[in-house]
Amino acid sequence: MKTNPLLHWEYFPQFSRIRPEHVLPAMNETIEQSLQELIALEQTLPKTWHGLLVPLERLIDRVSRTWGLVTHLYNVTNSPALREVHSQAQPEVIRFYTRLGQSKPVYTCLMALKDSPDFSSYSQALQRIITILLRDATLQGVGLTAKDQEHSNHLSQELARLTTTFANNVLDATKAYVLTLTKAEQVRGLPQTALALAATMARAQGHAHADQESGPWCITLDLPSFLSFMQHAKDRDLREEVYRAYITRASNGATDNSFLIKEILLLRQELANLLGYENFAAMSLARKMASSVKDIEILLQKIRTAATDPALNDLVDLEDLAQSQGQSEELKPWDLMYWAERLKEQRFNLQDEEVRPYFPLPAVLQGLFDLVGELFDITIVEQKEMETWHPHVSYFIVLDENQKEKGGFFLDPYARPEEKRAGAWMDEMVGRSTICAPTGTSLRLPVAYINCNQRPGLDDAPSLMSFSEVTTLFHEFGHALQHLLTTVDHGLVAGIANVEWDAVELSSQFMENWCYEKDILARLARHYQTHEPMPHQMQAQLLQARNFRAGSNALRQISFALIDLALHTADPHNLDPVALAHHISQEILPMPPLPEDRFLCSFTHIFAGGYAAGYYSYKWAEVLSADAFALFMENNKDQRHLQGRRFRNTVLALGGSRHPMEIFKLFRGRNPDPNALLRQEGLLLQSEGS
């Protein structure tokens, strides 16, 4: 089995050798080895932290590292064969973690450590590990009877199967839709880069001679293609067709997720009840920073109050513009992005396609690396010889102020709709750990994956980014920084490990904010051909556009968060999820959704991701990030480096080793202020009590 490339790698796997047929043997061997170590641990019953936590970290890491690599490849090199073995291996992985979490001997040893007189003398990281493992064991059902444990395990396995099916259905439904256009009038309004992308998609669909000038052009539901078409296509009927296809993805036929939603909600409620919780939301919050649904709703309603009037004004502005430009028909959902883009162009004289040439990926990366160097005393260097899973992927190492390596990250920037999941995300290949250090070393350095889905370079041009794609890259890089700059040596709480879900977006959203700082933007934006800086007027307009439709954007996020909470607090037996989602959307959004809107069927965040009863986390963490960033704005630029080191030494360094509220207070010196977010978004004047 030593020839299996998923096994026995210490530093980096050989990506080019990994095949779907390696997955099951690798996972079977990995799980069996860790299971035998767990059994040995249960028999020895160690009552010291070193005797218990060291072997626990090793056996957990072995499984999570191998399964993490498989899951990563599943997300970025998806294929029918890989999907099949992933679905076969997943139940065994869940069974292992369930077996671990329900181990009464391990739980007894953890309780002995927690209750021992020595507990208070342990480091904060060790105390936190013990507390988290006890909490997770309770949530895994360690206190249940054997019969109830068996039922709990069945529910967990079935939930994993259903959520994986949900995600696969969305991927398949997204890939299945292709609108092929052959007439020039059908693509009127599309900028040249969008036409080039559409021609590239057409060639991928078998139209070998497609080009951007004469077509044919293919429009897909992959976000770069979908958004560009909705924002620019003059043909209103075609916009309607594409929009309706998008909002009904995975809601009919072989990829229908409608029934899965109800099944998932029922199983989550049953599992929560079995573990003693009133509903799944209460169970979810056991692992969150927020203490109750009520606290979350108070924050969401505060933002909603501040955003409602501005959002209504946003809609009036679009209606007025559409009417003045000759659209006699009533504004519909497929008009919103189109007219919003026209209003943005009119108000700020900004066109996305005019902005893109100033954000070539290489220059944006250099600007990002320069910024984090100044803030956090680090240097980033590309390692061109590193093997990756795709030719477009790059690898970089991070050096500290003493030129000592801190870790590294892979960057996979481009959309590949045929095999790579949509969206942008950061994940870990390995985390920092002394216990799991490679042979002959004292410390394993962290390695991250950063995945985006922007347009690749076309013809002779590099990848030209929209400003939104720039902020997305900064966002994911913020996650990577927390993973890479940790100083915690215990892998179970190093970096992003065991950071509460509603706090984990703090570092990512903090980094986004730098894109809107005038001097940083000036450094980032350079024309890819002339290397000239973006004109001052365009920079100013881009910054002014930051809070464009801030009210509308906030209400959209609030509606998603409240729908998520409502779905996971209501009795699912008597629930029509789609009707509930429509009701909440109609109450909150200035333009209600269409009756046939089935966005829930592709809402992977809560039905196939980590955001179930946690979608509010975006806004919760935005408060933290806005308040943290405000400290940099309260001081002059000469103090940025000082504040940056403070941020590095608290938020980025301490990771999951302390409760996030404690870490935030270490950095900010007080509790977070919700008004910081409203000020940042220009909504404070409309908020109550401001």
Quick: pLDDT tens for 403-416.
999 999 999 999 99
Residues of the chain with pLDDT > 90: what percent?
93
Question: What pLDDT is stored for residue 650 in this prediction?
Answer: 98
Structural domains of the chain in order of their starting residue, each with its CATH number: 15-143 (1.20.1050), 177-249 (no CATH)
Q: Is the pLDDT of residue 1 over 50?
A: no
SS3 402: coil
Of the residues 341, 476, 512, 681, which is catalytic? Answer: 476
C-alpha to C-alpha distance for 394 and 407, rounded to whole angstroms: 14
DSSP 199-243: HHHHHHTT-TT-BTTTB-EEEESSHHHHHHHHHH---HHHHHHHH
Quick: pLDDT tens for 82-128.
999 999 999 999 999 999 999 999 999 999 999 999 999 999 999 99
Classify residue 184 by its DSSP letter. G
Quick: pLDDT tens for 116-173.
999 999 999 999 999 999 999 999 999 999 999 999 999 999 999 999 999 999 999 9
Q: Is the pLDDT of residue 687 over 50?
A: no
Radius of gyration of the chain from its Cα atoms, rounded to whole angstroms = 25
Locate the DSSP E strands across 400-521: 405-414, 425-430, 447-454
Token representation of residue 262: 């109800």
Quick: pLDDT tens for 533-585.
999 999 999 999 999 999 999 999 999 999 999 999 999 999 999 999 999 99
Quick: pLDDT tens for 211-261.
999 999 999 998 889 999 999 999 999 999 999 999 999 999 999 999 999
Question: What pLDDT is stored for residue 351 in this prediction?
Answer: 81
Mean pLDDT of the region 289-316 = 96
Q: What is the pTM of this model?
A: 0.88
Q: Is the pLDDT of residue 459 over 80?
A: no
Q: Give the ranges where 517-674 is alpha helix by DSSP (H).
A: 518-524, 536-544, 550-567, 577-588, 604-607, 617-634, 640-647, 653-654, 660-668
Question: What pLDDT is stored for residue 686 in this prediction?
Answer: 42
Token representation of residue 206: 């078998």
Q: Is the pLDDT of residue 619 over 80?
A: yes
Active site residue 622: no
Residue 503 phi/psi, 5-degree rounding, is -115, -15
Cβ neighbour number for residue 427 with a 10 Å cutoff: 19
Cβ neighbour number for residue 120 with a 10 Å cutoff: 7
Mean pLDDT of the region 667-685 = 92
Classify residue 121 by its DSSP letter. G
C-alpha to C-alpha distance for 90 and 18, rounded to whole angstroms: 18
- How high does pLDDT run on average in the chain? 95
Beta-strand relationship, 217-220 and 178-181: antiparallel
Mean pLDDT of the region 10-26 = 96
Contact 261, 577 (CB under 8 A): yes
Q: Is the pLDDT of residue 653 over 70?
A: yes
In sequence order, what are the beta bridge partners of 178?
A: 220
Contact 509, 625 (CB under 8 A): yes
Biggest distance spanned by C-alpha atoms of the chain:
80
Cβ neighbour number for residue 447 with a 10 Å cutoff: 21
Question: What pLDDT is stored for residue 609 in this prediction?
Answer: 85
* Full 3-state SS string of 239-256: HHHHHHHHHCCCCCHHHC
Element (H, E) at 395: strand 394-399
User: Residue 685's pLDDT band (boundaries 50, 70, 90)?
Assistant: low
Question: What pLDDT is stored for residue 636 in this prediction?
Answer: 77
User: Residue 688's pLDDT band (boundaries 50, 70, 90)?
Assistant: very low
Q: Helices 550-567 and 617-634 sit at what angle, rounded to 10 degrees?
A: 140
Question: What pLDDT is stored for residue 473 in this prediction?
Answer: 98
